[in-house]
Structure formats: C-alpha cells, structure tokens
Amino acid sequence: MNVLHVVANPRPIEESVSKQLAASFFATLLGKNPDVTVNNIDLYEDPPPYLSLNAYRRIYTPLVNPEYKPTKAEEDSIAYAKEQAEALRQADVLVLTMPMWAGGPPAILKAWLDQVAQPGLLFNVENGVVKPLHQLRKIILLVASGDVYKEGDDRDGLTPIIRNTFGFLGVTDIEVAWADGQDPNFHSDGEDRKQTALEMTEELAEEVAEAP
C-alpha cells in the first residue's frame, strides 16, 4: 500500500499539534503494517506556484482545441503540477496534515490543490462524466484549530474544500481527526481535546493498516 503524506504547516513538530497527530498516525500505521510505503511531501520545502495563465492555457486549451501545441513556457509552467499529480496517482491513501488558518486550509495547500486537481492530470471528462486517473481510495485529514468546531459548523471552511475537491475526483472516503480548542487564550481543555484527537488518529491508522 502506498501512502502519500502532504504537510502544509511551517511549524516544527514540538509546536504543531497537527504534526503531532501525523507522527502518531504514522507510528501506529508502520507499527501495525511495516509493508506500507510512505512518500512525504512538505509543501513549505517544495512550494506550489499559483496557477498561472501559461498553466491555465496548457491545461484547458486541449479540451477545446485538439490541434493545440503548447509553447515551451506553457509546458514548463505545469512541471510542478505534473510531478505532484504523479505522486498522487501512485498513492492508495492520502494523508493531509495542516492547521486551520483564517477559517480554512493554509493558502499553500489551496495552491497545491489548484495545481493538481486538473483535467489530464487527475481526471478526464468523457461525455460530461469525470473519469479519475488515480487509484486513491481514502483520505485522512489531520487538523488542529484554536477554536472549537464540529464538522458542519458554518465557520468551517476547511473540510468542505477537501471534501468537495476530492469528491469531484471520486474520493468520498474522507476521515478527519481534528484537535480543536488548541488556543489556551480561549479554551482551557485543549490538552484533553488533543488526546481525543490522538485516539481518533490511532484508530484511523489501525483501519488503514488493516485495510486489504
């Protein structure tokens, strides 16, 4: 089983609750199933560009003009997207580790999604139907936030982006371990909440480790 781990958090693990969830997830997963292969991508070490006009032209013109030949600049502009999409195409499971910032995912994660969730890279469209070009079957989302949230909360702009984007690509098995209430200025039970999220994380890792 191939697991792709994408991290969108610049903080070191001692300071980052979401990275602590990820460490626990992978310790349990690899402890239970040493045959799992993990590919780590740290977006702060290999940052995505914003989707450019050249990239837009290279990705979308072929959908309306089969004669289109990209310029070198247009082809070069999707090098990052092609490389990251290839990592995703090799994965059975995707783990996303991030904080909640300003009600949603960090901008670097959104920029990465804009790069990879593209026709010709992760899906094709045939007669109006999306045909996935990947084998992803599950996504695990490891999140920390300062405030207290329940999924479905109107203030949650993070999980809907992940569910909508990957749902479009045909992945609906998305599980979340969320350490909320981590800002001690507002919540005094952050440690308990972190422990609950760590327990959830371990359950998710066991599920993945035991999956056929």
Among 9, 77, 115, 201, binds ligand FMN (CB under 6 A): 9
CA distance 57 to 202: 43
Residue 101 near ligand FMN by CB under 6 A: yes
- DSSP letter at 119? B
Q: Does residue 159 touch ligand FMN according to CB under 6 A?
A: no
Closest CA to 192 of 181, 183, 200: 181
- Interface of this chain with ligand FMN, residues 170 to 199, rule: CB under 6 A: 182-183
Question: In terms of Cα–Cα distance, which of 13, 170, 41, 182 is closest to 109?
Answer: 41
Q: Which of 48/106 has CB closer to ligand FMN?
A: 106
The encoded tokens of residue 89 equal 């195409």
Nearer to ligand FMN, 48 or 181 (CB): 181
Binders of ligand FMN in range 10-29 (CB under 6 A): 11, 16-19
131 binds ligand FMN (CB under 6 A): no
Q: Whole-number minimum distance, CB 44 to ligand FMN, in Å?
A: 12
Task: Give the total of residues touching ligand FMN (CB under 6 A).
Answer: 17
| Structure tokens, 147 | 């405030």
Stretch that binds ligand FMN, among 26-34, 121-129, 139-147, 202-210 (CB under 6 A): 139-147
Residue among 186, 190, 180, 191 at smallest CA distance from 156:
180
Question: Which residue, 11 or 131, has its beta carbon nearer to ligand FMN?
Answer: 11
Burial class (CB in 10 A: 0-12, 13-18, 19+), 88: buried
Helix axes 79-89, 107-116, angle to 10 degrees: 80
Binding site for ligand FMN (CB under 6 A): 9, 11, 16-19, 99-103, 144-147, 182-183
